[in-house]
Copies of this chain bind each other. A is one copy, B any other.
Amino acid sequence: MGFYTVSNVEDMRICVVMVGLPARGKSFISQKIVRYLSWLSIKAKCFNVGTYRRKVGPAHPDADFFDPSNKEGSQVRQNAVTEAVKDMMAWFSEENGVVAILDATNSTKERRRWVLKLCRENAIEPMFLESWCDDKELILRNISDVKTSSPDYEGIDPEVATKDFLRRISNYEKVYEPLDSDCDKDLTFVKLINVAQEVIVNGIQSYLESRVVFYVMNLHIRPRCIWLSRHGESVYNVEKKIGGDSSLSPRGLQYAEKLPEIVRKSAGDVNLTVWTSTLCRTQQTAQHLPYKQLQWKALDELDAGVCDGMTYEEIEEKYPEDFKARDDDKYEYRYPGGESYRDVVIRLEPIIMELERQENILIVTHQAVLRCIYAYFMNVPQEESPWMSIPLHTLIRLEPRAYGTEVTRIKADIPAVSTYKEKGTSKLGESSSDATAKFRNLLNGAPPSA
């Protein structure tokens, strides 16, 4: 319930114009915003000018290419941004885009005024988002990310790449004009200073803009992990029933007993906080964990409404049309008197926001809820996420990195029934699409802009 109804944003179009020197985390922030909004069903896309530049210019340009006095380089870069903006405008008008991110340095006032004018001519609300940073350590970490992951330095010796990249940054510094509360009073902008140590927000117009601002304000880049687990096998699981508030089966209780050891092996001495739902089976699963525990109503299982407590076979028999409708569009299908996956995503939004703020959290919750949380971190599209396999008695460890999330699955080696229902049948069995999940082991983002 944390967010917009879909129709609420339909007549709004926002262009988030990134601003900042190279190695200030612009691409990282851009991709996180796109992922967050997409997860909330708000159509968002990142237009990375670096990618366009590599299409129209040299594949591995050195720092001289970025010297403001280099006429040829400047022309190529101007062509690149022009192409990116052209594609962005087409995306807004032909594909009904809602939030575009123009990921580039946009380092001069002149360039920003040019983007501003184009946006205004096309009835698009521009919001400038500057990442300003003078924290040496932070910059060095970003440089190290770029030199290892940017296509600009593919196949180039890391030491050479670092030196060249530092020269590139100084070339940008020659002309860089930060956003300024006085001169840019008329713009809608957000200035993040050293990630979000200080944030300056100017002239925010819409709720959607304010949500993006709140989201980026909550980001941090301290290393951390998130652990996810379903509750142990429950009595209802064994009876093939969905929903309810049943206790754990004997095997589920075994999992609860083993969980502290599995967690300790994965997390070491890190001090975790455990989040459970308000339902009995998650709390029983977490009962032996030696950490602080919090219950969230928002982590309760997808509400199956009138079908709560039934088996899939019963649902197929009693509500054949609903049964089919759910298989046809599982993300949107709402049980009579209950919820859809979309509803669950909306109520999980504050959980995601809090997860972004926190460091080391272990979440013990339910199949549908975990699918939604997993989809956020792994960028799984809506049509796929409700079909992901998240087996019982398995601990999942997510490690968010600069350009993706690493995932590790640790099986507890305690047998459990499968609760995975294939499309088009009421039978439960191990999922063949487990393979899909396995291949999503690293989130692929756009290459970092440089």
Contacts and interface: CB of A to CB of B under 8 A. Distances in A.
Interface residues on A, range: 35 or more
A210 B200 contact: no
Q: What DSSP secondary structure best describes chain A's contact surface? A: mixed
Interface string A339-352: 10001001110110
A350 B297 contact: no
A199 interface: yes
B202 A198 contact: yes
A432 interface: no
Contact of A343 (B198, B199, B297, B303): B297
Interface in A325-365: 336-337, 339, 343, 346-348, 350-351, 354, 357
B200 A199 contact: yes
Given A210-B357, A218-B210, A357-B207, A295 B202 contact: no
B199 A346 contact: no
A205 to B, nearest CB: 10
A206 to B, nearest CB: 8
Nearest to A243: B337
Given A214-B214, A354-B207, A5 B202 contact: no
Contacts of A1: 1-2, 296-298, 347-348, 350-351
Greatest chain B CB density within 10 A among A5, A7, A218 is at A5
A196 to B, nearest CB: 7
A294 B7 contact: yes
A203 interface: yes
A308 interface: yes
A79 B232 CA distance: 60
20 contacts: A1-B2, A1-B296, A1-B298, A1-B348, A5-B295, A5-B296, A8-B294, A181-B198, A185-B198, A198-B203, A199-B200, A200-B200, A207-B354, A207-B357, A210-B214, A210-B357, A214-B217, A245-B337, A297-B343, A303-B303
3 cross-chain pairs, A with B, having the tightest CB-CB distances, nearest first: A1-B298, A1-B347, A199-B201
